[in-house]
Structure 1
Amino acid sequence: MEEMQSFHPNHLVRTKYENILENLDSGIILFDSVGVLAFVNVQMAKLLGVPRKSLIGSTLTQLLRHPQITRFKRKKIIRIYRETIFHRKRFHELLDECGRSWLITMTYGDQMEGDFLISVKDVSDFKQIEQTAYQNDKLAMLGKISASIAHEIRNPLTSIRGFIQLLRPHLMRLGKDEYARIILTEIDRANDIIYEFLNSSKPSAPQTTIIPVASLLKEVVLLTESEALMKNCEIILQHSEQIPSFISVDVKQIKQVILNLIKNALDAIDGKNDENNNGIIEIGLEQNEKQVNILISDNGAGMDQNTLNHLFNPFFTTKEGGTGLGLSVSYRIIKNHGGSIAVDSQVGIGTQFVITLPIIEMSNT
C-alpha cells in the first residue's frame, strides 16, 4: 500500500510533464541510449507528417525508411544527424521546402543519462525581424556613405565648373568655345548622376497625394506596355470593380517602385530563354478595410532561396552590370510610406511581389 502511495505522485508528475512536452509549439523527439525512439510530441509528429504511434519504438534507420517520410525530409534528417552527432554541433539551422527557418537543438551527455533529446523550433519570425533590423542598418549606412561621397565629389566639380566659366572668354577668342561647352555639359551630367545616386540610396521624405490605386497602376501599365511588346511579353492588369482604394503616397516614388518591379519581371522573363511560352506579367489588387495589396506576378526564371535571402540588400544583384540598388531603394520607399514589400518565387515557375500600403478613408479626409 505504501509502495502504491509513493508511486502515485511520481506517476502524476511524469504525466504532467509529458502533457506539457506534448503540447509545446516546438517539436520534441527523444532517442534512448541504444538509439530507439522513446518519445515524440504532437508538434514533431506534425512536422514529420507521420502518426505518433507508428514512430514510437523505431530506430533512426527505421524512421528514415518510413513510407510517409518524404524524400526532402529524409535528406534533412540525415543532414541533422550528420551535423549534430558527427560534428558535435548542439545547434543547427535549416530551411524547409516552404522557405521557413528552423532551429534544431541537440541535448545529450551526462545530464541526459545517454539519451539524445532533439528539439525543433520555427524561428522564421525572429529571422525576419533580425533581417529587417540588419536591412535598416545597412540602408542607413549606405545613405551616410552616399551623402559623404556626393559632398566630396560635388565640391571639386563646382570649382572646376567655375574656373571653366572664367576661361570660356579666352577659349572663345581661340575658337575653342565648343571645348568649354562640352566640359560644362559633362560636369552637369556628373552632378546629375551624383544627385540620382544620392536620391536612390537615401530617398527623400514622401510628398504625399491622395490618389486611387487603380489609376496609378493604369498609368504604370501604359508606360511599360511598349517595352513589354518588344520583349514578346503581355502585361495584364486585373482588379475587381469594388469601391476604389485610395492611398496617400508620393506618386513619383511609388511609381518608381512599381516600374522597377515590372522592369525586373521583364528581365526575368527575357532571361528564361523559353521560346514556347510567351511572357506574362499580371498586376492585381486585393484590399481589406485597412490596407491594399498590389500584386506583381511574372512567369519568368524565378529565384532560388539564397537569392531571396539577399534580395533587398544594397549592391546585391544577379544582373550583369546591375547596381543592386533598385530593390533596396524600393524597400526603403515602401517602409517610408508605412507599408511592406514581400516576395515569393520558385525557380523555373516565376515570381510574385506583394506591396502592402495603408488605405485612406475618403470620408475622413
Structure 2
Amino acid sequence: MLSEFQETLLQSVKAYQSTQLVKNKYENVLQHLDSGIILFDSDGILTFINVEMAKLIDLPGQSLIGCNLLQVLRHPHLSRFLKRKVVQLYRETFLYSKKFHEFVDEYGRNWLITITYGDQMDGDFLLSVKDVTDFKRIEQTAYHNDKLAMLGKISAAIAHEIRNPLTSIRGFIQLLRPHLIQLGRDEYARIILAEIDRANDIIHEFLNSSKPTVPLKSIVDISTLLKEAVLLTESEALMKNCEVILNLQEDRVLNVSIDTKQIKQVILNIIKNAMEAIEEIEDDHGGIIAISTQPDGEFVNIIIQDNGNGMDKALMNRLFDPFFTTKENGTGLGLSVSYRIIKNHRGDITVDSTKGMGTVFVITLPMVGERL
C-alpha cells in the first residue's frame, strides 16, 4: 500500500515538474518576443509582463506584478502620455468592444495594440503592443508610388488642353509687345512671357513627375532669384493684405548652382501657400511673409515664414504627398513637385508649424564649390 502511494506521489511530482517545464518554456518564449506582452487575470491583477513591455513603459516589470490597473496608473514613474493612452484604451475596449488600436507616440512611432479577452482566455486579459513604424513606412511608400503613377496619367491627359491656350496667349502678347514698348511697359510683356514659359515648364514637370528630371543648372546669386520672386508676388500680396519682407545677406554673395526656373517655381509655390494660409485667419491685421537667407556651412538656407493659420502635426506629415490637399480647388501637386525638385538639386526642404501660430519652410541648397 505504501509502495503504491509512493509511486503515485512520484508520478504526481514528475507530472508537476513536467508542467512547470512547459510553463517555464512558454514564459521564456513570451519574455523574448519583440512585442510587448502584459496579462491581467480575471480579478484585474497584473500577473505577467515581458521584457519588451517593461522597456516600452520604462518601468521594472517586477514592480508591477500583483498590481491592479488603478495601481499601475498611479505609479509615480509612469509618464503622463502613457497614463492618458491606458485610460483611452480602457474606455475604447469596454465601451466600444474595440480590440485593435493604433496610435502614434510623442516620438512619431506607430504602434499596434491588440487586446484579447473572452471565453478563450478564461477571464484573463492579454494585451500585446508592437512597433509597426517600418510597416507604415512601407505602406506609405507604396501609397506614394501609386499616387505618382496616377499623377502621370492625369498630367498626360490635361497637358494638351492647357498648352493650346497658352500658345495662343503667348502669340498675342508678342503681337502686342511693340505697343507696350511705345507705352514704356515692355517690362510687363517680359514678365507675362516669362510666366507663360514657366507655366509650360510646370506642365512639363507634371508629365515627368514620375521619373527624375535632371536640372539644367546655372550659377546664380540666390538673393537675385528671391528678389525676382518677390517682384512677381507683390501685387497679389497687396490685394490679399499681405506684406512680403525680404531680409538678405547683403554683405555676402551666396551663389548656388540651380535650375533657376525650377527653384523659382518652388519659392513662388510656398509664397502662394503662405498667402492662402494668412487669408484663413479672420484678423484685421495684415499678414506678413518674411523671406531670409542663412549660410549654413556648405549650404544656404532659404527661410520662408508666415503668420498664417498654421497646421497640426498630422497635416505636416502628409504635406508633400502627391494629391494631398486641404483646399477646395487644390490639386495637391505643388508641394509634391517642389519636394522632388529640391531633392534633385541635392538639397532638402523641411516645414515646421503650429496651429494658429504660422508656418516656417526651410529650403536648403548646396552652395557653389561645395559638394556639387
Q: TM-score range by the shorter chain?
A: 0.5 to 0.7
Shift of 1:39: 3.7
Which residue does 1:20 correspond to in 2?
Answer: 32
Higher CA-based Rg: 2
Instruction: String of CA shifts for 1:162-194, please: whole Å, max 9, x gaps.
Output: xxxxxxxxxxxxxxxxxxxxxxxxxxxxx9899
Q: Determine helix, strand or coil for the equivalent of 1:78.
A: helix
Q: Which letter maps to 1:20? A: H
Mapped to 1, the partners of 2:224 and 2:56 lie a distance apart of 43
CA spacing shift, 1:8–1:122, aligned 2, 3 Å: closer
The alpha-carbon deviation at position 35 of structure 1 amounts to 1.8
1:307 matched to 2:315? The reply is yes
Instruction: Note if contact 1:281-1:299 (Cα within 8 Å) is conserved in structure 2.
Output: no
Q: How many residues align?
A: 327
Query: Does the aligned pair in 2 maintain the 1:139–1:328 contact within 8 Å?
Result: no
Aligned alpha-carbon RMSD (Å): 5.0
Distance 1:364 1:76 in 2: 46
Q: How much has 1:295 moved relative to structure 2?
A: 4.9
- Tell me how far apart the structure 2 counterparts of residues 96 and 234 of structure 1 sit (CA, whole Å): 37
Structure 1 residues 203 and 286: CA distance shift in structure 2, 3 A: farther
Following superposition of structure 1 onto structure 2, how do residues 87-166 of structure 1 map, counting pairs within 5 Å? 87=96, 89-97=98-106, 99-108=108-117, 114-151=123-160
- Amino acid corresponding to residue 104 of structure 2 in structure 1: L
| TM-score between the two structures when normalised by the length of structure 1 | 0.64
1:63 aligns with 2:69: no
Matched, 1:261 2:266: no
C-alpha distance in 1 between matches for 2:18 and 2:368: 67
Cα 1:126–1:355 shift into 2, 3 Å: farther
Q: Which residue number in structure 1 is paired with residue 326 of structure 2? A: 318
Query: In 2, distance between residues paired with 1:208 and 1:325?
Result: 22
The code of the aligned residue for 1:79 comes to Q
TM-score (norm 2): 0.63
Could you tell me which residue of structure 2 aligns to residue 362 of structure 1? 369
38-47 or 98-107: which moved more?
Answer: 38-47
| 1:209, distance to aligned residue in structure 2 (A) | 1.4
Give per-residue Cα distances to partners, 1:254-306, cap 9 Å, x unaligned: 221122123322332343345679746464557577x7765544443211345
Off by >6 Å, runs of 4+ in structure 1: 5-12, 152-155, 191-194
Contact 1:202 1:329 in 2 (8 A): no
Q: Which residue of 1 aligns with 2:173?
A: none
Cα gap change, 1:321 to 1:89, in 2 (>3 Å): closer
Q: Percent of aligned pairs with the same residue?
A: 52
Counterpart-to-counterpart distance in 1, 2:338 and 2:160: 24
Partner of 1:201: 206
Cα distance between partner residues in 2 of 1:270 and 1:153:
28
Q: Structure 2: which 5+ runs fail to align?
A: 1-12, 169-195
Q: Gapped runs of 5+ residues in structure 1?
A: 162-190
